[in-house]
Amino acid sequence: MRIVVGMSGGVDSSVAAYLLKKQGHDVIGVFMNNWEEDGVCTSEQDFADVRAVCDVIGIPYYSVSFAKQYMDRVFSHFLEEYRRGRTPNPDVMCNREIKFASLLELALSLGAEKLATGHFAGVEKRGDGKYHLLRAKDENKDQTYFLCTVTQQQLSKAMFPLTGFTKPEIRKIAEEAGIPVYQKKDSTGICFIGERNFKKFLSTYLPAQPGDICTVEGEKVGRHDGLMYYTLGQRRGLGIGGRGNCERWFVVKKDLENNRLIVSQGADSELLFTKEGKAEDAGWISGGPPVKPGEELICKARFRHRQPLQDVRIRVDGTNVHMDYAVPQRAVTPGQVVAFYKDDECLGGAVVTE
């Protein structure tokens, strides 16, 4: 079949394209440029890598700009969340709003039946006639967290060729196939920020409002540069010297009403832990909640990529989810995405509110 592969210039998407070509498919590589600003990201070098890889594999390739769509659907939301004092994850939204929306639309217009990516994840159509998002073989690299809000329609067109491989196996395949990026370092962080200072970047879009750093008891211990620059559980960059027991200071709360950053000493401060939480804007991959209103479901959850799966009990009310944790969770942060799992399957995801 004809398959479009979203290619980043990295080893994972390169091997995904190689494996599909080797299987005899009609493969087309597409490189997305989602951010238009000089000196940001590594898009020029990445596209050069895509060209080199596609030449080795023997497939056609294109470069396409979704910068406007990214700005409208992802980055504007990113800024709004920071404006509200929350900590968003734009990568999750990018998958739903750009890769499996704009890029998928382009793939279909090129006559493709499927859109493949280098994600470590799996997809399977089961007896219920629905498509299920499955965890990858390499648990350390599993990326279903970033895909947890894709829709049933999007997943029906998705392919993840790397699901049965580990990362070392992927690099070995790339090396043996002569793929030039087999040793390329994995990208980290948010693309549009790149190697720049996060505070400096954010301040060009949102005006900072400095304020006091206070203890839970209300004692002023320092000044913050703007609540948007901090997240729960953060210990670096607070600029507070050791006091009393000399334990490190950690952010435990944002007082938005009074523009105060609340801190406490000790990595194990009980103020950093919660036994329950809430989330909103839930999206379920099957098309509907996994539990009826008023009923409870015991499942697993992940609040950040690579976090070990946590035991939770959830109740669903419309698009809102109430969560009870079997073990108190540390620094669950509003704006973060929580992904829900049952056995080998990712059920969906929601945005943490508290």
Q: Is the pLDDT of residue 85 over 90?
A: no
Mean predicted lDDT score pLDDT of the chain: 91
Element at 202 (helix H, strand E): helix 198-203
Task: Report how far Cα 227 is from the mean position of its chain's Cα atoms.
Answer: 22
Q: Of 161, 176, 191, which marks where a domain is finished? A: 176
**What is the band of 15 on the pLDDT scale with cuts at 50, 70, 90?**
very high
CB-based contact 61:54 (threshold 8 Å): yes
Residues in Cβ contact with 156 at an 8 Å cutoff, skipping those fewer than 6 apart? 125, 131
Q: Grade residue 340 by pLDDT with cuts at 50, 70 and 90.
A: very high
**Residue range(s) defining the domain that contains residue 302:** 273-352
Categorise residue 318: left if φ over 0, alpha if ψ from -120 to 50, beta otherwise: left
pLDDT of amino acid 236 = 87
Question: Which comes out higher in pLDDT, residue 188 or 93?
Answer: 93
Helix spans in 25-180 (H): 43-57, 67-70, 76-83, 90-94, 104-109, 152-156, 167-176
For residue 300, count CB atoms less than 10 angstroms from its CB and return exposed for 0-12, middle for 13-18, buried for 19 or more: middle
Q: What is the pTM of this model?
A: 0.92
Residue 195 in any domain: the answer is: no
| Domain end point (choices 119, 152, 176) | 176
All residues at 6 or more sequence positions from 306 whose CB lies less than 8 Å from its CB, including other chains: 140
Same domain, 98 and 19: yes
User: Which residues are marked as active site?
Assistant: 94, 191
Contacts of 250 (CB under 8 A, 6+ apart): 233, 234, 235, 263, 264, 265, 266, 267, 269, 272
Task: Give the pLDDT of residue 113.
Answer: 97
Report the alpha-carbon distance of residue 124 to residue 160 in Å, rounded.
Answer: 10
Q: Which amino acid is at 145?
A: Y
Measured in Å, how far apart are the chain's first and last C-alpha atoms? Answer: 45
Point out the least confidently predicted range of 68-72, 185-189, 218-222, 345-349.
Answer: 185-189
* pLDDT at residue 294 greater than cutoff 90: no
CATH number for the domain spanning 288: value is: 2.40.30.10
Regarding whether 152 and 245 lie in a shared domain, the answer is no
Q: What total of structural domains would you count in the chain? A: 3
Do 19 and 87 belong to one domain?
yes
**Is 127 inside any structural domain?**
yes
> Around Cβ 174, how many Cβ atoms within 10 Å?
23
Residues 253 and 227 both lie in one domain: yes
- What does the DSSP assignment read for 181-197? TTTPPPP-S-TTTTTS-
